[in-house]
Amino acid sequence: MKHKPLCWIVSLLVFVGALNWGLVGIGGFLNMDLDLVNMLLGTWPLAANIVYLLVGIAAILFLIGFLKSPCCRTCEKSEATSAPAAPAEPENPAEGGQQ
**What backbone phi and psi angles, to 5 degrees, belong to 32?**
-130, 155
Query: Residues 74-97: what's their mean pLDDT?
Result: 56
Q: Cα–Cα distance between 82 and 93 in angstroms, integer?
A: 32
**Please, which pLDDT band fits residue 1 given cuts at 50, 70 and 90?**
very low
Is pTM, for the whole model, over 0.75? no
